[in-house]
Structure 1
């Protein structure tokens, strides 16, 4: 549900006078091709944007959506539908999806009419400015809550009852990475992490460095006088992976000092990693200890950062770091672990 391009598509369709059939994956188990939060928008022509898992399941959903849109009128309301699908030849819990990859998923579908263009526009504004808000879907349709603070887990689903809200999804992205160092490696990692759906913040002390200027992937580009100042400027630190990859070892030390000292007052970051060879890392650990950083905080560092693989170019290093962040995700954020079917 955090796909900006999908909501832009929805808004463009509504502003053109077309109602949109929206489907969100409200829940999934392991092995399901559709993952919680995935979304699909369909208009009356059959054109679609996004995906809820693909294959014959999605093709059938698009057909259903077109049929519903053909007969829909604004007076009819949202046409809310919840379907529990199983990806097996023989379904024991819900409907057969037509796929045989195992697992289950629950799809929630409804129609949004042109009258709700203002709500969708505000959703986009909040997402584009990285501000909090909650999308709510229930029998009354699509609503927006801007009063409740962000928290985890970011999406909650209640199976149909008399409740007025069945799906509640946070707009502020919980997948976040702060990169201290805006050089070639920082640019490459920004590109990879943004492509994985992360909100990227990147810091550098050099406003004119071309790799920072060319970085179109970071949501926030911040120039600091001292890398030690970066930690205090990180939004949602309790959700944010910190990656230190500046131009020199002294700058790495300053960046690490800033984030580890912040932990003493605001609690730990889920992940702090630094790039470097053994000799460099030994110097970093020694400098942090001399600056009064505790042994436990130093021991928690991911150093060297990234999965062990041959990675020499910035792009290869970025893949290595991103892979480690993904590998650690379920341990650091247990709500992301889908249950077994």
Structure 2
């Protein structure tokens, strides 16, 4: 649901006067190929954008969507359909999906009319600007709420018991990383994390460094006079992983001071890590203590950052760091843990 490409596709079809069939995964268990928030848009000619898990399940959904669209009239409305699917040969809880992964998922499908192009256009604007807003899906189809502040979990689904909203999804990306240091490693990590669906903010003190100028994966690029400023300029700190990988140890220390001083008390950042060999990290810890940083905050540092593996090039380091962030995600954000089927 956070995929701008999907919403651009929907908007283009609506602006051409064509209705679009949309499906969102409202809930999934472990082993399900469709994950919560995954979305699929289908046009009347069978063209699609996105996915809700693939295979025979998706092929059947596309066929159904095309048939609905070809006979649809505006008077019929959104036509919300909720399907609880089981990916096993003998379903005990819902419909058989045709897949055999042993997982479960709940799909919500409805038709978006061309008259709703302005709503979809605004959804796309908020996504591209990294601004908050809630997509709502209910019996009346698609709505947008820009008044409710963002909070976690980002997706709320209730099984149908009334005509109320069944699905609410936050447009502001909750998967966020702030990288302090815009050099080669920062560039490589920006690329990997953006490809994993994270909103990336990159900080540097050098506005003209070529790796910063080449960084087309960062959502936000911030040039500061002193890395100590970075911590207080991070949006949604309670959702944001912080990775410190600047050009020198003194800059790393300044960046960590700015972040870890905010950690004292509420401790907003779920993850703060710094790259370095043992001697460098010992110097960093000593400097942080001298600067008066709380020892508990220093103790929570991921140092050295990343999973232990052979990682010497910027690209290998980026994979190591990204792997650790993914490994820690369910512990840091428990709502991401899908239940067993």
* Range into which the TM-score falls when normalised by the shorter chain: over 0.9
**Are 1:96 and 2:99 an aligned pair?**
no
Q: Deviations over 1:164-191 (max 9, x none)?
A: 2010000000000000000000000000
2:24 corresponds in structure 1 to 24
Counterpart CA distance in 1 for 2:41 and 2:29 is 22
Return 5+ residue gaps in structure 1 as ranges: none
Counterpart CA distance in 2 for 1:12 and 1:266 is 45
1:310-329 matches, within 5 Å, as: 310-329=310-329
Return 5+ residue gaps in structure 2 as ranges: none
Greater displacement, 264-273 / 63-72: 264-273
2:279 corresponds in structure 1 to 279
1:124 corresponds in structure 2 to 124
CA contact (8 A) 2:182 2:211 kept: yes
1:113 corresponds in structure 2 to 113
Q: Segments of 4+ in structure 1 off by > 6 A?
A: none
1:69 corresponds in structure 2 to 69
TM-score by length of 2: 0.99
Deviation of 1:163 after TM superposition, in Å, equals 3.5
2:179 corresponds in structure 1 to 179
| 2:40 counterpart SS class | strand
2:293 corresponds in structure 1 to 293
Number of aligned residue pairs: 341
TM-score by length of 1: 0.99
CA RMSD of aligned residues (A): 0.7
1:138 corresponds in structure 2 to 138
1:267 corresponds in structure 2 to 267
CA contact (8 A) 2:203 2:224 kept: yes
1:209 corresponds in structure 2 to 209
Q: Deviations over 1:27-77 (max 9, x none)?
A: 000000000000000000000000000000000000000000011011110
CA contact (8 A) 2:264 2:294 kept: no
CA contact (8 A) 1:140 1:164 kept: no
Deviation of 1:266 after TM superposition, in Å, equals 5.0
| 2:264 counterpart SS class | helix
CA contact (8 A) 1:159 1:166 kept: yes
Counterpart CA distance in 2 for 1:265 and 1:333 is 20
CA contact (8 A) 2:132 2:171 kept: yes
**Are 1:8 and 2:8 an aligned pair?**
yes
CA contact (8 A) 2:183 2:212 kept: yes
Deviation of 1:160 after TM superposition, in Å, equals 1.1
Q: Deviations over 1:165-220 (max 9, x none)?
A: 01000000000000000000000000000000000000000000000001000010
**Are 1:59 and 2:54 an aligned pair?**
no
Deviation of 1:257 after TM superposition, in Å, equals 0.2
Counterpart CA distance in 1 for 2:267 and 2:260 is 9
